[in-house]
């Protein structure tokens, strides 16, 4: 009987060894939720479907005291500025054009220095300090047909901004395709660097607010470039609080913003 018991124990040990070898010593276990599995060893995670990609955050220097940037574009790359609104660095009697070189084509617009000189000045100052170089179009909202950008530090709408806010210039704006508009919170005078393009007529639903300052207008075939970008729309997961509406399904990068005056 002792011999029989020993044979049973030995057989059980052999079976256990065979099982462990065949599973690698790490039996898999599925977790609740799509696209995620784990093991008792290393954990493997896959991104949930429907999450648009994001561009890498940018890094830049700090400007300790305000100084107007060089008009030839040779100023350093600055992301952090004094806590006050920029000084007036443009000549409002001149026409300023912004040229954005992007992965989907060139976007150009003229700045409205007549009706919104301070907002136009703010955009020119940030552009000449290369604040917008390397930013992405991180928001597409087809319900109001806008595309938003201007968030280098985070590449999403939760960006902390340049360190200051600017005053609102005017109110009762009406929004049409081709407008370039400052983004802001519901609080007055809360705009800073983020802005959006209007690529369709649905933006007119914002007319009842009219508080977002329109400071530029697209030229040439820029609107067709924006409509091409709009076709890349992908909704964001409901849990993503840094994304309103959606974003491009492939990163749309603004490589460089160039300012010319005439």
For 61-261, the fitting CATH number among 3.40.50.720, 2.40.100.10, 3.40.50.300, 3.30.300.30 is 2.40.100.10
Backbone dihedral angles phi then psi of residue 99, each to the nearest 5 degrees? -115, 120
Confidence class for position 43, pLDDT limits 50, 70, 90? very low
Identify whether the C-beta of residue 149 lies closer than 8 Å to the C-beta of residue 103: no
Identify whether the C-beta of residue 152 lies closer than 8 Å to the C-beta of residue 54: no
Would you say residue 59 has pLDDT above 90?
yes
Would you say residue 42 has pLDDT above 60?
no
The residues spanned by each domain of the chain are: 61-261
Task: Render 85-122 in DSSP notation, one character per residue.
Answer: PPP--S-TTS-EEEEEEETTEEEEEEE-TTT-HHHHHH
Average pLDDT, the chain: 85
What pLDDT score does 24 carry?
A: 33
Determine the Cα–Cα distance for residues 198 and 226; give it in Å rounded to an integer: 9
Identify whether the C-beta of residue 98 lies closer than 8 Å to the C-beta of residue 149: no
Q: Which residue in 221, 59, 255, 246 sits closest to 148, CA to CA?
A: 246
The 10s digit of each residue's pLDDT in 149-187 is 999 999 999 999 999 999 999 999 999 999 999 999 999
Task: Pick the range with the lowest mean pLDDT from 11-20, 42-51, 64-73, 233-242.
Answer: 11-20
The 10s digit of each residue's pLDDT in 78-114 is 999 999 999 999 999 999 999 999 999 999 999 999 9
Would you say residue 245 has pLDDT above 80?
yes
**DSSP strand E in the chain: where?**
28-30, 36-39, 43-45, 61-62, 78-80, 96-102, 105-111, 135-136, 139-141, 146-149, 179-182, 195-198, 214-218, 233-235, 246-248, 253-261
Backbone dihedral angles phi then psi of residue 203, each to the nearest 5 degrees? -65, -15
Place of tokens 């500025």: 81
Confidence class for position 50, pLDDT limits 50, 70, 90? confident
Q: Which residue in 126, 237, 220, 130 sits closest to 178, CA to CA?
A: 220
- This prediction has a pTM of 0.81
Which helix (H) or strand (E) segment holds residue 152: the answer is: none
Confidence class for position 2, pLDDT limits 50, 70, 90? very low
Which helix (H) or strand (E) segment holds residue 125: the answer is: helix 117-128
The 10s digit of each residue's pLDDT in 5-19 is 444 344 444 333 333
Would you say residue 51 has pLDDT above 90?
no
């Amino acid at each position: 009987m002792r011999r029989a018991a020993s044979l049973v124990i030995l057989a059980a040990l052999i079976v256990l060894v065979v099982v462990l070898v065949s599973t690698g010593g790490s039996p898999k276990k599925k977790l609740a939720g799509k696209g995620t599995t784990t093991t008792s060893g290393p954990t493997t995670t896959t991104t949930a479907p429907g999450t648009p990609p994001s561009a890498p955050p940018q890094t830049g220097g700090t400007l300790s005291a305000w100084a107007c940037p060089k008009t030839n574009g040779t100023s350093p790359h600055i992301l952090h500025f004094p806590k006050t609104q920029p000084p007036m660095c443009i000549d409002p009697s001149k026409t300023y054009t912004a040229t954005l070189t992007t992965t989907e084509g060139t976007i150009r617009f003229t700045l409205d220095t007549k009706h919104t000189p301070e907002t136009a000045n703010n955009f020119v100052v940030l552009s000449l300090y290369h604040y917008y170089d390397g930013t992405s179009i991180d928001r597409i909202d087809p319900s109001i047909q806008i595309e938003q950008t201007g968030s280098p530090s985070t590449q999403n709408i939760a960006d902390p901004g340049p360190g200051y806010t600017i005053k609102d210039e005017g109110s009762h704006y009406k929004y049409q395709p081709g407008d370039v508009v400052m983004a802001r919170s519901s609080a007055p005078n809360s705009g800073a660097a983020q802005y959006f393009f209007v690529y369709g007529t649905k933006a007119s639903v914002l007319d009842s607010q009219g508080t977002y300052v329109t400071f530029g207008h697209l030229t040439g075939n820029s609107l067709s470039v924006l409509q091409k970008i709009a076709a890349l729309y992908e909704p964001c997961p409901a849990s993503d609080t840094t994304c309103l509406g959606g974003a491009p399904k492939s990163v749309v990068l603004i490589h460089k913003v160039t300012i010319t005056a005439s």
